[in-house]
Amino acid sequence: MRYGDFTPFDIVLLLQGLGVSLALFVSTTLIGLVIGTAWAVIRFYRVPVLMQAVTFVAELLKNSPVLVQLFLVFFGLPAFLKINVTPTEAALITLSGNSAAFIYVIAVSAIESVGRDQIEAARVFGLTRWQILRRVIAPQATAFAIGPLTGLLVNQLQVTSLISVIGVMDLTKVGNILNLRTLKPFLVWTAVGLLYYLTAKLVTYAGARFEKRLRAHTAWKGL
């Protein structure tokens, strides 16, 4: 194939790449939310051993480059455990774990932001730890966490671009291919950057909307 001009099909290619990036972003965010929140609950209950394990794993994930984690999963798992992972699986595992670690941090501080005095009141009236978590802590912690969470997700969206290096056909990988074919880097990367930018804006907007709704619902202006 000769170096050539853009074809209408390239738009489809770009949108496909965007779709892959978005699908990975959304699924790893959801998995990360479930795992990160579960870790925070383990910490809330002070489950022995598990709690230390969670802290240790989260520390590892937070303090090492995502790219290194990705290589470890993609090349390391087959080599050491004889498990074959496809690039998509490797991306899914790595990004989910990474999101979980950071969501865990946000969830822990959100839980801790709820005043001790209210929790003591709830205990005195005989609510169980689980009831306190659900009725008293969770609603306030969620409102508290939305802001930091939106910031994190905007960042995690950009991080998904790393998976292009192991061959996942995401938006960045498509950009790479188009660039090599057309040799018009400025145009290609502007288009790719713009798509990331618009998606990030959408995430921020959704976060702000959600936060506003939560606060309107509770009409809670803090103390």
- In whole angstroms, the minimum distance from the beta carbon of 130 to other proteins comes to 10
Q: Which is nearer to other proteins, 143 or 192 (CB)?
A: 143
Separation between Cα atoms, residue 72 and residue 74, nearest integer Å: 6
Q: Which is nearer to other proteins, 5 or 117 (CB)?
A: 117
Q: Which is nearer to other proteins, 113 or 155 (CB)?
A: 113
- In whole angstroms, the minimum distance from the beta carbon of 152 to other proteins comes to 23
- How many other β-carbons are positioned within 10 Å of the β-carbon of residue 93? 19
Number of residues that bind other proteins (CB under 8 A): 22
Q: Token pair of 114, please?
A: 């709820």
Q: Which is nearer to other proteins, 49 or 223 (CB)?
A: 223
Separation between Cα atoms, residue 118 and residue 140, nearest integer Å: 11
Q: Token pair of 99, please?
A: 């999101």
- In whole angstroms, the minimum distance from the beta carbon of 143 to other proteins comes to 8
Separation between Cα atoms, residue 170 and residue 137, nearest integer Å: 38
Tell the residue number behind the tokens 């003591």, with chain if given.
120
- In whole angstroms, the minimum distance from the beta carbon of 137 to other proteins comes to 10
When asked if residue 203 is in the footprint of other proteins (CB under 8 A), the reply is no
Q: Which is nearer to other proteins, 8 or 222 (CB)?
A: 222
Separation between Cα atoms, residue 96 and residue 156, nearest integer Å: 10
Q: Token pair of 50, please?
A: 């598990």
Q: Which is nearer to other proteins, 62 or 212 (CB)?
A: 212
- In whole angstroms, the minimum distance from the beta carbon of 135 to other proteins comes to 6
Element (H, E) at 91: helix 87-112
Going by C-alpha positions, the residue among 38, 42, 166 that lies closest to residue 92 is 166
Q: Which of residues 34-93 bind other proteins (CB under 8 A)?
A: none
Going by C-alpha positions, the residue among 106, 104, 136 that lies closest to residue 34 is 104
- In whole angstroms, the minimum distance from the beta carbon of 33 to other proteins comes to 21
Separation between Cα atoms, residue 20 and residue 222, nearest integer Å: 40
x/- site string to other proteins, residues 108 to 147, per CB under 8 A? ---------xx-xxxxxxxx---x---xx--xx--x----
Q: Which of residues 150-179 bind other proteins (CB under 8 A)?
A: none
Interacting residues toward other proteins by CB under 8 A:
117-118, 120-127, 131, 135-136, 139-140, 143, 218-223
